[in-house]
Structure 1
Amino acid sequence: MASTRREFLALAGAGMMLGASGRLWAQVSTTVGDWQVTSVSDGHLSLPRGFYFDGLPEAELAPILEAQGLMGDMIASPCNVTLARREGAVVLFDCGAGPAFMESAGELIEALDVIDVAPQDVTHVVFTHGHPDHLWGVLDDFDEPVFSEAAHLMGDAEWNYWRDPETVETIGEARASFAVGAARRLELVEERITAVADGEEILPGLVALASHGHTPGHMSFVLQGGSEAFLVAGDAIVNGHVALARPSWELGSDQDPAQGAATRLRLLDMLVTEEMRLIGYHLPDGGLGRIERAGEAYRFVAEGA
């Protein structure tokens, strides 16, 4: 008998379903002090190879990609949404792509349902940045807020960038639709949005950390619990292959590639030096784990590996 979609998601929530870009539907959890932190899949993106790697030295790039099994013209990238819960707070970091961006993404609501979290349970939606796979899930098919009971928070520089009418003219043709889509959605949730600054404690034990480069106002967030700190990295560490093997390379998936590389190096060093764990939005195996040095490079070690 064929499995229903609900059965498929339930299997995946139990860590039993594998997909092309790893455990596409697996959710993995950990604790940070009194926070329960869970990586929940929104599906995956499929983007042209050149979007990431145009201009990079092919002789060095090819063996890195080959080692990861990335040999085609398209690159599949998992989308790991972070859910952090403790008494009185259900915090969602980003809200996925929604139904309008890419068929392989936009599955967050169904994935949350597997772990018995309804949209109205969410108390805070905290955006790392305004790209479609992080923001467009804020509205449903009728342009109503999906997380109707939640406060919405975004870095002040990021908010200003996407609300600026000149952004669509300066962002470049490949990303012009990103700007149009972000501006429309942010306008519709404007009354719900609170802008936050670098270093601001937006909830007890939750601090904003500027990590600009992937977008002009990209923000990561540090969860603090007892003596432990945990990084919700967003796209500051933009993938689990070239960004780690050659962290100083300037990648086309960052809007400011030079600043993105500088931010990435700073965060990777911090994660290793301070022995911090993280969730990366596009890292493999749910994106929850730790970073280790590997000579002049780094590697990601998934939780439990």
Structure 2
Amino acid sequence: MRTAHEPDPSKIFISRRQFLAATSVLASAPLWSWPAFAATPYTFSQGDFEILVVSDGELTLPASLLAPDAPPEELKALLEITGQGPEQVTAATNPTVIRAGDDIILVDNGSGNKFQPTAGKLVENLKGTGIEPESVTKLVFSHAHPDHIWGTLKGDGILTFPNATYYVNSAEWDFWMAPDILTKMPQAFHDFARGAQRDLAAVKERAVMMKPGDDIVTGIKVLDTAGHTPGHISLEVAGEDGLIIVADAITHQTVFFAHPEWRSGFDVIHDLAAQNKKALLERAATDKTRLLGFHWTYPGVGHAERKDGAYRFVAAT
């Protein structure tokens, strides 16, 4: 019998057929150049912490992978709100730096040079703010998907952030490092698993296993937002009305605010992901909590407001 956080192998991710059909849309898509996606680092204060959103670039994916079960016309209308067409979606990638006393904490390290050519810009952009990779003291993985963890190693196999302590949810570690992981997902996603195992193994000697409820430092708490992956976490940062670094618990700021019940094609445990999306949005709307989304239009910072029985995203000004 599976536990609530254990995925059903028959329903994990989308099917190989769906994946291949969707990715064929990108075959004729132009490879956009990085300068079009350059973003000035976005900084704000949160209680005792300084928050810095530093772009890793952008990713392109088929719209049909974003929400595979969504009615096409409704999905099209929601994508138009962010100026996107019905065939493909451009997603920001927004790693976050938190300055906490003497600590420089990085939340996710992007995809390095291993995923899409329009991403992998994090180190360059960190240096542009005066942060050298060697100065990062703590690195928190929200989960082990390529765009969040594949920046772990440089091309020579050396750690990109050599002095960091790496924080990984033990449930996420156990899922990806399981010897039978390849039997739990379509072949189209086997590279995801191999990359996760490569990068998690690389930080094993510097890793701290964490769980929801733990503090990274005083004032930064780990939240359970499992579903996108079995060990997906978000971070709650204290101060004022609070800040939640959402990561991929909510992957699009119009689509899943309006329909938190819709599944993402990359969610592992669909029902749990939907449950946690709704809970996160309800809490944020009630408490006026600031939100920061990894894939929301840069810099991805704003609030949730109730609208028509669901929610809408209000960007920070």
Report the Cα distance in structure 1 between the residues aligned to 2:293 and 2:134, rounded to whole angstroms: 25
Report the Cα distance in structure 2 between the residues aligned to 1:294 and 1:18, rounded to whole angstroms: 33
Identical counterparts, % of pairs = 34
Report the Cα distance in structure 2 between the residues aligned to 1:63 and 1:75, rounded to whole angstroms: 13
User: Within the alignment, does 1:104 sit opposite 2:118 as a pair?
Assistant: yes
Report the Cα distance in structure 1 between the residues aligned to 2:211 and 2:76, rounded to whole angstroms: 40
1:12 maps to none
Report the Cα distance in structure 2 between the residues aligned to 1:73 and 1:61, rounded to whole angstroms: 10
User: Within the alignment, does 1:178 sit opposite 2:192 as a pair?
Assistant: yes
1:247 maps to 260
Give 1:244's aligned amino acid.
F
1:97–1:137 CA contact under 8 A, matched in 2: yes
2:75–2:86 CA contact under 8 A, matched in 1: no
1:31–1:37 CA contact under 8 A, matched in 2: yes
The Cα offsets for residues 114-133 of structure 1, whole Å up to 9 and x where unpaired, read as 11100011110001000000
Report the Cα distance in structure 1 between the residues aligned to 2:101 and 2:211, rounded to whole angstroms: 25
1:39–1:288 CA contact under 8 A, matched in 2: no
Report the Cα distance in structure 2 between the residues aligned to 1:75 and 1:46, rounded to whole angstroms: 6
User: Within the alignment, does 1:63 sit opposite 2:77 as a pair?
Assistant: yes
Q: Which has the larger share of strand?
A: 1
Report the Cα distance in structure 1 between the residues aligned to 2:46 and 2:83, rounded to whole angstroms: 33
Report the Cα distance in structure 2 between the residues aligned to 1:247 and 1:120, rounded to whole angstroms: 39
Pairwise CA distance, 1:174: 2.8
The Cα offsets for residues 126-152 of structure 1, whole Å up to 9 and x where unpaired, read as 010000000010111111111111110
User: Within the alignment, does 1:206 sit opposite 2:220 as a pair?
Assistant: yes
TM-score with structure 1 setting the length: 0.89
2:170–2:209 CA contact under 8 A, matched in 1: yes
Match for residue 289 of structure 2 among 241, 263, 276: 276
Give 1:302's aligned amino acid.
A
Report the Cα distance in structure 1 between the residues aligned to 2:307 and 2:41, rounded to whole angstroms: 27
Going from structure 1 to structure 2, the CA distance change for 1:18 and 1:274 (only over 3 Å counts) comes to farther
Match for residue 104 of structure 2 among 82, 87, 90: 90
Match for residue 236 of structure 2 among 203, 206, 222: 222
Report the Cα distance in structure 2 between the residues aligned to 1:218 and 1:228, rounded to whole angstroms: 23
1:132–1:182 CA contact under 8 A, matched in 2: yes
SS in 2 for 1:285: coil
Report the Cα distance in structure 1 between the residues aligned to 2:123 and 2:75, rounded to whole angstroms: 36
Report the Cα distance in structure 2 between the residues aligned to 1:138 and 1:208, rounded to whole angstroms: 21
1:168 maps to 182
Report the Cα distance in structure 1 between the residues aligned to 2:103 and 2:241, rounded to whole angstroms: 19
The Cα offsets for residues 186-213 of structure 1, whole Å up to 9 and x where unpaired, read as 1121111111011011211111111001
2:280 maps to 267
SS in 2 for 1:42: coil
Pairwise CA distance, 1:72: 4.6
Match for residue 161 of structure 2 among 136, 147, 150: 147
Residues 282-291 or 145-154, more deviating: 282-291
SS in 1 for 2:56: strand
Long gaps (5+) in structure 2: 1-32
Report the Cα distance in structure 2 between the residues aligned to 1:255 and 1:92, rounded to whole angstroms: 25
1:74 maps to 88
1:246–1:297 CA contact under 8 A, matched in 2: yes
2:81–2:254 CA contact under 8 A, matched in 1: no
SS in 2 for 1:137: coil
Give 2:66's aligned amino acid.
Y
Pairwise CA distance, 1:18: 6.2
2:8 maps to none
Match for residue 249 of structure 2 among 236, 241, 244: 236
Pairwise CA distance, 1:220: 0.6
The Cα offsets for residues 62-110 of structure 1, whole Å up to 9 and x where unpaired, read as 3222333322522110000111003211000000101111111110001
Equivalent pairs counted in the alignment come to 285
Give 2:257's aligned amino acid.
L
CA RMSD of aligned residues (A): 1.8
Long gaps (5+) in structure 1: 1-7, 10-16
Give 2:155's aligned amino acid.
D
The Cα offsets for residues 23-54 of structure 1, whole Å up to 9 and x where unpaired, read as x5132111111100011100011112221132
Match for residue 130 of structure 1 among 131, 137, 144: 144
2:68–2:263 CA contact under 8 A, matched in 1: no
